[in-house]
A and B are shown apart, each in its own frame.
Chain A
Amino acid sequence: MTSDQQVKSASTGPEAAGEPESPGGPRGRSLLSGKSLEALALPIAWVLVIIIFGVLRPGTFLSSANLASILASQAVLVVVSLALVIVLTAGDYDLSVAAVVGLSANLIAILNVNYGVPIGLAILVALVAGLLVGVLNGLFVVLVQIDSLIVTLGMSTFVAGIVLWISGSNTVSGISNDLVRPVIVWRMLGVPLEFYYALIIAVGVWYVFRYTPLGRRLLVVGRSREVARLSGVRVGAVRWGALAVSGVIAAFGGVLYAGTSGAAGPTSGLELLLPAFAAAFLGATTVNPGRFNAWGTVIAVYFLVTGITGLQLLGAQSYVQNIFYGAALVLAVSFSQIVRRRRAARAQ
């Protein structure tokens, strides 16, 4: 550090005084530890929530059955949140993810139960449908250059309408056990397999974000389309690709949804939109603060559901869920904005 400082004082001009480390007092290592404390805030809060409810309701809250049910019940939300995180990283919104879950689940139910289509083929059709929705989103966002917020908001309602239509407003149950069993029945370490499917998606997103050039380009496109474009990144292709992949992953969430309940109804999945946004933004405050990231999103999903489950065990009504998710979304976004502004101020 000392030689660093000497070099710096030798540099000329008034700008030299404004070098990065000087403001904010502590420099170097301690700054880094401040950053890692920020990164650990949510996991620590999660552990605290577990301890509090564990003490208040030791018998029920800490039971392994409850743990397994929490982990498995949120697998679909984890998958949907990860789909969303990909698009958010590329700098766009995707409000159609939840509707795609419903579309996918209903396609599987209707094709498999009403038309006797083999479950494997039904799943394939559902995934292709998700891809199609994503590609269509991209068409309007990239080619026609409409704001993604508007396009996917419309698409969400459009898809929900299609679902209502093809389902005839009926819930279709009795989906083949060939899907139900590998999703919810079979277990590993006492936890249904669907939890691990969600983890596999998380690993995939984490790998792409962290270890591939594509992940970096996605991040750069999200931060500045102009810089990306002038650096030779095919911005349109990246944004379109993110929306398409998001559609497929959301459709995979629909597969898990169908397998979990063995049925699908006209409004299936729609309730996941706000929790997915809350998880994505809350997740961006942890692990790698300031960036949407896979593990932060997973932690955020389980932090939120832990709080909700605990409060419900304490006797809170179901409305607590809405209050919790709604507040979490606004607070998470506020928090990340404050962090970002502080970092920007520090950078001046």
Chain B
Amino acid sequence: MVGERPLLQAIGLTKSFGGALALDGVDLTVLPGEVHGLLGENGSGKSTLIKILAGYHTPEDGRLVVNGREVTLPLPPGQPQQLGLEFVHQDLGLVSSLTVAENLYMSEIVKPANRFFVSWSRRSDQARDVFARYGVAIDPDATIEGIRPVERALVAIVRALEGLRRATGDEPTLLVLDEPTVFLPQNEVALLFDFVRQIAGRGSSVLFVSHDLAEVRQITDRVTVLRDGRVAGSVVTADTPPRELVNLILGQELQEMAEIEQQVQTGEVVLEVRGLTTRWLHDVSFQLHPGEVLGLTGLVGSGYEDAVYAIFGAIPAEGGSLVMGGEERTVTAMTPQAAMARGIALVPGDRQNSGSIPTLPASDNINLLVLDGYFRAGRLRQGDLDANAKALMDEFDVRPPRPDLDYGSFSGGNQQKAMMAKWKQINPAVMLLHEPTQGVDVGARQQIWSMIRASTDTSSTICASSDYEQLAAICDRVGVIARGRLVGYLTGAELTKERIADYCLSSSAGASVAGMDGSGG
């Protein structure tokens, strides 16, 4: 491929937001007919780069050459399509209640060729022909919600390719797939990949944006790794061992990992989860010990957060059981009431929609679980309720300590502290947390960590989070979930931000921890 004229060449792209450099002189070269990976952690600059290509962002510096022609940046609306660039984002941009054909010809609705009449029966036949051309068997008259997730992805991709064909004729094109597998079940990813290879086989290039090492290794010819807004490396995928890719992503030369603690801890068990299976998790089992803070983590899409919700009965489980106090109960039968009756509390990650009611006062939010205790002689004692809320707000340092203010008027950190206060009142034996410091300022973050550590005197905690620094700070043990399976634990000296990140990436690459040294050579 050396000497071949690149389809797309970005040179020295630089972009900052409010003084912070998001992209710092980034080069990207995509060759005709290749599947090119764009890999990096969240915040590494992947989406900024994509948005420059799509014309959303104006770079401060840098050039863009498409098909050997220099183009001026920023790209005006419509220009990327004229140049042969099209984007499919992870949400796919389909209307789920409309049919496949209607979605495929969405542009006809927005800007019809004939103002008064669109023949949908003809469209339906055309859609069938188009799918046949791509070797895809999808019923054009089915609604989007009625087809499989991977089929939805295919519809979005075919739509993008057809749009390109209309715009450019048979010019070479570049299809950008932005995290296309995040919403796909594991067994359907292969189908998508087959299709991507087929597109590339027809000469169209694909830029495959992902944070998932395994998928990038599986599908791409070459890969460009971004780290902190810079290109950490651009390599041929097949020649690069996963160990090296992990190092490029994380920017560190990690020692070969010492033996990971996999042995089951002995001693008392507060809660045992056996064979938990949900939409994303497969056969996950673990034990929680008294006073332990157990972290659960993994990459986005690995399903690591499902466990806490399933244990509480907040999301449906497909199988598995819970053992608490010698009593075994199937997870599918769990409800929030049953969980609370067993001393399990859940502080969900989505404070605004699942954790609290922003339009009600802090007092009502904090006291929701203990109302019955304040119903005496036929009256709810509002004064006592407010005093209770005030005392808890003082104890948990919620500022300002004003139970009468609407919950939504407090800052993120104070909202989170108020939620911790709310659940502490039922004296939980097991506290389930999901991203307890998301959108929380630095000071409150430290306070919440201290609270979680302090609670180990009386309760055990499971904390689902992808914030590795947080897990390193508060957990005794961190279980890593990759592709829906619990692949191992980190403890003791291994519990550092870098180690957790490394482990998440490498285990997702499919390389078992032991297998990593083998491929490293």
Contacts and interface: CB of A to CB of B under 8 A. Distances in A.
Contacts of B360: 219-220, 223
B354 A20 contact: no
A76 B192 CA distance: 63
Contact of B353 (A11, A21, A226): A226
B368 interface: yes
Contacts of B414: 15
A211 B379 CA distance: 5
B354 A347 contact: no
B359 interface: yes
B402 interface: yes
Interface string A312-348: 0000000000000000000000000000100110110
A57 interface: no
A9 B79 CA distance: 49
A30 B441 CA distance: 29
Interface stretch (A141-149, A182-190, A196-204, A227-235): A227-235
Nearest to A340: B359
A224 B371 contact: no
A18 B411 CA distance: 7
Contacts of B441: 12-16
B410 interface: yes
B442 A12 contact: yes
Interface in A1-36: 4, 7-8, 11-16, 18-21
Contacts of B443: 11-13
B380 A212 contact: yes
Contact of A230 (B312, B374, B378, B380): B312
Interface string B419-460: 000000000000000000000111110000000000000000
Given A12-B442, A18-B411, A223-B360, A213 B372 contact: yes
B399 A232 contact: no
Q: Which of A8, A19, A232 has the most CB of B within 10 A?
A: A232
A16 B441 CA distance: 9
Contacts of A230: 312, 314, 336, 346, 348, 354-355
A19 B442 CA distance: 16
B356 interface: yes
B354 A227 contact: yes
B444 A13 contact: yes
B372 to A, nearest CB: 5
Interface in B349-384: 353-360, 364, 368-369, 371-372, 374-375, 378-380
Given A8-B399, A230-B354, A232-B340, A216 B411 contact: no
B375 A212 contact: yes
B241 interface: no
B380 A213 contact: yes
A347 B408 contact: yes
Nearest to A20: B409
B399 A15 contact: no
B229 interface: no
Contacts of A219: 360, 364
A224 B314 CA distance: 14
B201 interface: no
Nearest to A222: B357
A217 interface: yes
B355 A15 contact: no
Contacts of A211: 378-380
Contacts of A340: 359
Given A13-B413, A13-B442, A14-B441, A344 B375 contact: no
Interface of A: 4, 7-8, 11-16, 18-21, 210-213, 215-217, 219-220, 223-224, 226-227, 229-234, 290, 340, 343-344, 346-347
Given A13-B411, A216-B371, A232-B337, 7 more contacts: A213-B374, A217-B371, A226-B354, A229-B314, A231-B369, A290-B359, A340-B359
25 contacts: A4-B400, A7-B399, A12-B442, A13-B444, A14-B441, A15-B412, A211-B380, A212-B380, A213-B371, A213-B380, A216-B371, A219-B364, A220-B357, A220-B368, A223-B360, A224-B357, A227-B355, A230-B336, A230-B354, A231-B369, A232-B369, A234-B337, A343-B406, A347-B358, A347-B409
In the A-B complex, the 4 residue pairs with the smallest Cβ-Cβ separation, listed nearest first, are: A13-B441, A12-B443, A15-B411, A20-B409
Interface of B: 312, 314, 336-337, 340, 346, 348, 353-360, 364, 368-369, 371-372, 374-375, 378-380, 399-400, 402, 405-406, 408-414, 440-444
